[in-house]
Amino acid sequence: RGDSRAADRTVDSVCPYCGVGCQLTYHIKDDAILHVSGRDGPSNHNRLCVKGRFGFDYPRHASRLSVPLIRRDGVPKGLDPDFDPADPTTHFREASWEEALELAAGGLVGLKEAHGPDALAGFGSAKCSNEEAWLFQKLVRTGFGSNHVDHCTRLCHASSVAALMECIGSGAVTASFMQALDADVVILTGCNPTVNHPVAATFFKQAAKRGTRLIVIDPRGQALCAYAHRTLRFTPGSDVALFNAMLNVIVSEGLYDETYINEHTEGFEALKTHVVDMTPEAMSGLCGIPAEEIREVARLYANADKAMIFWGMGISQHTHGTDNARCLISLALACGQTGRPGTGLHPLRGQNNVQGASDAGLIPMVLPDYQPVGDAQLRAAFEELWNTPLDANPGLTVVEIMDAIAAGQIKGMYILGENPAMSDPDLDHARAALARLEHLVVQDLFVTETAQFADVILPASAWPEKDGTVTNTNRQVQLGRAATPLPGEAKPDWWIIQQIAQRFGLPWDYRHPREVFAEMTRGMASLGHISWERLEREDSVTYPCPADDAPGADVVFSDAFPTPSGRARFSPTRPLPPDEPLDDVYPTVLTTGRQLEHWHTGSMTRRAKVLDELEPEAVASLAPGELARLGLAPGEQVVITTRRGQITLAARVDPLMPEGMVFVPFCYAEAAANLLTNPALDPYGKIPEFKYAACRLSSSEHA
Ligand code: SF4
């Protein structure tokens, strides 16, 4: 438990890390969290993983910001190896809130007046509450005057959402992961739940023990393979070939659900024709899976009474990420595997509030509830709600904004809780862009790598210090409650956003997040019958919810899809190679992601004592054969080089890795994986290809 003293009070809240959204209780003494325990929430049933249980002390880290900071004259913007985040006064001077806010907002207002609305952009964060996301996108749209607002959904499931919106008219999951307990077959592809959604993984294991057949489809092995009925470790980047071969089997063997297709879908005849030549034999060479194995798995899924598909960023983070998700949706539609208990499509959302932040409109091409900015009628509803005209042009996305800075278009930014100097692909490019900004305001808990480029840093609130709602991967809107006081002069994020908004001349006067949530319920049909007061009583309500006293819908689209015709649509795809093919100079696949103990860019977990002691240094995971080929022993340094950069870090032997591939977590600033990654984008979701870059491994920097 970490501390044997007795707590003097407890506060119920939600875990601030992954999209599972575990409910927890903070046990507090003298305003400090002693330990954390799990609650009986709908997504965790008292369970917590190591992050939720032990990752609670980061708000009290020695480098926590408690005073506004302003860059000292003459200090260049950028990463200085001598900079100590625990003593930022070498590079920044402390300032009053009044001075910092005047400078922060004044710089942005001045750039807008000089260059117009398109000179500004904002990154919000999935680490923030729904209310903060709502206010942030509202500030950009009504204050900055453009739609140049985005957040890390662009780097995780933007392609999944693009495919889901296109095919079924909704970007959220069709069923919670608890439905896996009722499924006969569960496909897990491009995800590693034991690492990234650990409590969800415990329910998958439970399902397997009860008889659910798990099918793990991924180039890398993982802990859940031990529970799997079948494991397909296909060639990296060949997802579309494999899934189309499965569709070919379902079509050619007549395994599809004709009644479901006739009643609920459109476009199946075109799909049938499209997949006719993509037989398992034809695709086997591309995906590396024997044709008969593809047939077996296709039959298992299609013949199941109830089957679900879960996916993660191994599907979405490709230049063909949208095509990958389109294939998975086609599989479910062809086999009638949605709309009933134990069936469904579930992109496992990564960050704790990436679902809620996206729903709240922290996306450049859509207003809250995914209403396209270009639709005059839908836009008019928000113009009326906010009493101001809105821009009809879709804004720029995360990577496009970096390119627009480099091109001189975007000159000022407001970044809340995001860390693009670590999370963007091709970091040298992203960091050069940040350094070029004429005015950068960063609102965060620490002087992150991104904050080291800022003109003004505003000290924000950590999750245990605030009231707010978040929405997890299951569409469960949950209430977090302030448990501990803010340090020093740090302020609630909603208050800071409002201060900036007021300096843009906006007449905002919110006094508590509950007032923001009330406004959200007026603009977002998805939040119908969910109120702050109800959440105070019930802690969690799933949307969509049909009545004030009814539970929300765990499974949706039983009768119709939210598309103009009420039908779901098949969207055929063809295999495309990764953007950066392997060659003699760069013969190995680099893939990136998270570790169990660390989360996103590590700004919180690397400041959590237990978590950082468990995983203290950057590591590259390699198959035993790769290490042997390099002549390295585990723990020795390996050099990884791509066309964009080079990093050196400790080699870790991992028997679950395939030969010809290396995995690097992206949370270590000292060996930043994203110095290496490929910024090529999926054309629909605009998501970079984090899961596939051509690299070279060596034991020496000069090899
Ligand atoms: Fe937190 Fe996710 Fe772990 Fe649950 S599974 S405790 S939400 S990190």
C-beta of residue 27 within 8 angstroms of C-beta of residue 35: yes
Q: Indicate the pLDDT class of residue 194, thresholds 50, 70 and 90.
A: very high
Distance from Cα 41 to the centre of ligand 1, integer Å: 12
Instruction: Answer yes or no: is the C-beta of 404 below 6 A from any ligand 1 atom.
Output: no
What whole-number distance in Å separates Cα of residue 23 and Cα of residue 7? Answer: 19
Q: What is the pLDDT of residue 1?
A: 45
Walk across the sheet containing 540-542 and list its strands: 468-471, 476-480, 540-542
Please check the confidence at residue 13 and state whether its pLDDT lies above 80.
yes
**C-alpha distances in angstroms, 386 versus 143, 492, 504?**
11, 22, 14
- Ligand 1 pocket mutation, candidates 23, 46, 196, 199, criterion most atoms within 8 A of CB: 199
What whole-number distance in Å separates Cα of residue 348 and Cα of residue 355? Answer: 10
Please check the confidence at residue 79 and state whether its pLDDT lies above 80.
yes
- Residue 86 neighbours by CB under 8 Å, 6+ apart: 62, 63
Instruction: Answer yes or no: is the C-beta of 198 below 6 A from any ligand 1 atom.
Output: yes
Q: Looking at ligand 1, which atom is closest to the CA of residue 199?
A: 5
Please check the confidence at residue 689 and state whether its pLDDT lies above 80.
yes
Q: What is the pLDDT of residue 702?
A: 57
Give the position of tokens 């939600």: 14
Q: What is the pLDDT of residue 3?
A: 53
Q: Looking at ligand 1, which atom is closest to the CA of residue 52?
A: 6
- Ligand 1 pocket mutation, candidates 46, 195, 197, 611, criterion most atoms within 8 A of CB: 197
Angle at which helices 291-303 and 280-287 pack, to 10 degrees?
110
Angle at which helices 97-115 and 493-503 pack, to 10 degrees?
50
Please check the confidence at residue 35 and state whether its pLDDT lies above 50.
yes
Q: What is the mean pLDDT of residues 487-501?
A: 98
The share of the chain scoring above pLDDT 70, in percent, equals 99
Q: Which of the 8 DSSP states describes residue 180? A: G
C-beta of residue 406 within 8 angstroms of C-beta of residue 431: no
What whole-number distance in Å separates Cα of residue 269 and Cα of residue 251? Answer: 10
Complex ipTM > 0.90: yes
Instruction: Answer yes or no: is the C-beta of 49 below 6 A from any ligand 1 atom.
Output: yes
The 3 state secondary structure assigned to 20-60 is CCCEEEEEEECCEEEEEEECCCCCCCCCCCHHHHHCCCHHH
Residue 356 corresponds to which tokens in the numbers above? Answer: 């809620």
Q: Looking at ligand 1, which atom is closest to the CA of residue 53?
A: 6
Instruction: Answer yes or no: is the C-beta of 22 below 6 A from any ligand 1 atom.
Output: yes
What whole-number distance in Å separates Cα of residue 232 and Cα of residue 246? Answer: 12
Residue 504, Cβ density class (10 Å: 0-12 exposed, 13-18 middle, ≥19 buried): middle
Instruction: Answer yes or no: is the C-beta of 21 below 6 A from any ligand 1 atom.
Output: yes
Sign for the CA dihedral angle at 517, 518, 522, 528 comes to: positive
Walk across the sheet containing 213-217 and list its strands: 230-232, 213-217, 185-189, 307-311, 344-347
What whole-number distance in Å separates Cα of residue 39 and Cα of residue 282? Answer: 50
Residue 4, Cβ density class (10 Å: 0-12 exposed, 13-18 middle, ≥19 buried): exposed
Please list the residues that pair with 351 across neighbouring strands: 18
Q: What is the mean pLDDT of residues 575-582?
A: 96
Q: Mean pLDDT of all residues in the chain?
A: 96
What is the residue with the minimal CA distance to atom 2 of ligand 1? 18
**C-alpha distances in angstroms, 379 versus 265, 372, 522, 523, 562?**
29, 8, 14, 11, 19
Give tens-digit pLDDT for 387-421: 999 999 999 999 899 999 999 999 999 999 999 99
Instruction: Answer yes or no: is the C-beta of 18 below 6 A from any ligand 1 atom.
Output: yes
Give tens-digit pLDDT for 88-132: 999 999 999 999 999 999 999 999 999 999 999 999 999 999 999
Q: What is the mean pLDDT of residues 454-479?
A: 98
Q: What is the pLDDT of residue 544?
A: 97
